[in-house]
Amino acid sequence: GLNLDDVQGGHFVSPFSCHHVCCIDETWLFRTRIGMRKVFERFFFFGISDATEFKARLKTDILPLITSTMQVIANQTDTMLNIAFSQTGLIALNITGPANDLNDTVFTNGQVADASNLGDPNTTNWVPEFVGTNIHGVMLLASDTEASINTTLADLQSKLGNSITEIYSLRGAMRPNENKGHEHFGFLDGISNPTVGGFQDPLPGQALVPTGEILVGETGDNVTRPEWAKDGSFLVFRQLKQLVPEFNKFLADNPINEPGLTPEQGSELLGARMIGRWKSGAPIFLTPKFDDPDLGKDKFRNNDFTFAEPGQNSSDPTDQSKCPFSAHIRKTRPRADLSVGENTTHHIVRAGIPYGPEVADDESSSNTTEIERGLAFVAYQSNITAGFQFLQHSWANNQKFVHSGVGFDPIIGANAGAQRPVNGLDPTNTTRNFTLTIDFVVSRGGEYFFSPSISAIANTLSV
């Protein structure tokens, strides 16, 4: 079986992980245990300047601090640390040659080479440090206090000395108070993630996927990999800016005009139909007209639907009154819309966190974003082409998915900056087309990384 002491903790998801050890309350944190989910997270992107020295420090100073899945389950670590490397980072560590080829072309070429394919060719929008292949690695630090992150990072930096250079860093934080666990548009996040075989039973509606869909070299990963890569995972990082006041204005300007709804409720409904869930997390497929906060927070019910119902399904698409085919959660996980159902290889484990401040008053009154905020998007999978890249390119950006006439995913669908047709959002007239002239989510770029097993760090990457 899988050695949970050897797998880095960041990509672990389990609904019941705290069942035995630490499930003392039912707060947002324990709804599902997603990797290193804490209140604060720092993404520290670095270049390796002195490989020999870095390897020594990796072994003596970083390795003992790396948080394993077992430690995540026990939730006993104040500051959790994971580390991942880009292709150029592996080259800097002299992990080269055919025997060390991870066999993921997208990873090999780096994310900036994939920009056009992602519908995101305008890299002048990108954080400049992500344009190019200078980033060799990323350290992810998570804690419930920012002071602990700062202390740990400062300590690591002093030990690493001149063996690395800081290239860029991003500070993620849960939103305050009642918005804890919600992303910046206001929607509860972290509800639906697959669970991998071999851990626990899935929650109702949760995808149970072969371990090899998330972890390299396990059953379900059919690509030839170097031995040391086993139980690692590819980490996709994207800094996704969200235009929150602009999104809110779009909702306010276009309320769904349904009998019995106030204009405000009509705007809420439009937003919910763009996502496929209400702000509380309640799926619109189960509660199509009004939010149901009790359903939203009930982890046994809030993911328990398939889209399979007469008239609502892609094989019988007469009616999208319960959920548009274009809704973000339906585009990115079509469930029974595909005849193969969950039996696809296109699952990712999402472990992102919001970044940037709350919307300021002058931003809401001017309907204009002035300070950057968004989602520090993190996705784990054993195959980027089948995972993140496929969801973005072949589903969200594909107007013909799940069948022709659906249009873009209104949240993350990208059309190289051009306007985006979206259908099905208005339940009173599902042939009504919305042409979105703004990207509410703007890519600021990112990088593709490999998050190795702890033994790979000890026995291969640090020697």
- The residue (of 126 and 187) whose beta carbon lies closer to ligand N7H is 187
- The residue (of 78 and 201) whose beta carbon lies closer to ligand N7H is 201
377 near ligand N7H, judged by CB under 6 A: yes
Q: Rounded to whole angstroms, how far apart are CA atoms 57 and 445?
A: 29
Environment class of residue 162 by beta-carbon count within 10 Å: exposed (0-12), middle (13-18) or buried (19+)? exposed
Q: Which of 92, 153, 349, 375 binds ligand N7H (CB under 6 A)?
A: 375
DSSP state of 150: H
H/E segment holding residue 361:
helix 361-366
Is the Cβ–Cβ distance between 349 and 208 less than 8 Å? no
275 near ligand N7H, judged by CB under 6 A: yes
- The residue (of 212 and 334) whose beta carbon lies closer to ligand N7H is 334
The distance from CA 422 to its chain's CA centroid, rounded to whole angstroms, is 22
Residue reference for tokens 């390299």: 216
Answer yes or no: 189 catalytic: yes
Q: Rounded to whole angstroms, how far apart are CA atoms 242 and 411?
A: 9
- The residue (of 46 and 448) whose beta carbon lies closer to ligand N7H is 448
Angle at 40 between CA 34 and CA 41, to 5 degrees: 75
Q: Within 422-461, which residues bind ligand N7H (CB under 6 A)?
A: 441
Scanning 184-243, the segments in alpha helix (DSSP H) are 211-214
From residue 29 to residue 68, the character string flagging contacts with ligand N7H as x (rule: CB under 6 A) and all else as - is ----------------------------------------
- The residue (of 185 and 234) whose beta carbon lies closer to ligand N7H is 185
Size of the site for ligand N7H (CB under 6 A): 27
Closest CA to 38 of 169, 190, 160: 190
391 near ligand N7H, judged by CB under 6 A: yes
Q: Rounded to whole angstroms, how far apart are CA atoms 84 and 301?
A: 35
Catalytic member of 104, 189, 291, 292: 189
272 near ligand N7H, judged by CB under 6 A: no
240 near ligand N7H, judged by CB under 6 A: yes
- The residue (of 441 and 454) whose beta carbon lies closer to ligand N7H is 441
Shortest Å distance, C-beta 33 to ligand N7H: 13
DSSP state of 460: I
245 three-state secondary structure: helix
Q: Which of 141, 406, 411, 425 binds ligand N7H (CB under 6 A)?
A: 411
Q: Rounded to whole angstroms, how far apart are CA atoms 385 and 333?
A: 16
125-154 burial: b if 16+ Cβ within 10 Å, else e: bbbebbeebbbbbbbbbbbeeeebbeebbe
Q: Within 324-343, which residues bind ligand N7H (CB under 6 A)?
A: 328-329, 332-333
Q: Rounded to whole angstroms, how far apart are CA atoms 255 and 266?
A: 4
Q: Which of 202, 324, 334, 374 binds ligand N7H (CB under 6 A)?
A: 374
Applying CB under 6 A, the span of 70-78, 355-363, 370-378, 424-432 interacting with ligand N7H comes to 370-378
Residues 386, 377, 20, 333, CA torsion sign? negative
Q: Within 156-195, which residues bind ligand N7H (CB under 6 A)?
A: 183, 185, 187, 189-192
Active-site residue list = 189
Residues within the interface to ligand N7H (CB under 6 A): 183, 185, 187, 189-192, 240, 242, 275, 277, 328-329, 332-333, 348, 350, 374-375, 377, 388, 391-392, 396, 411-412, 441
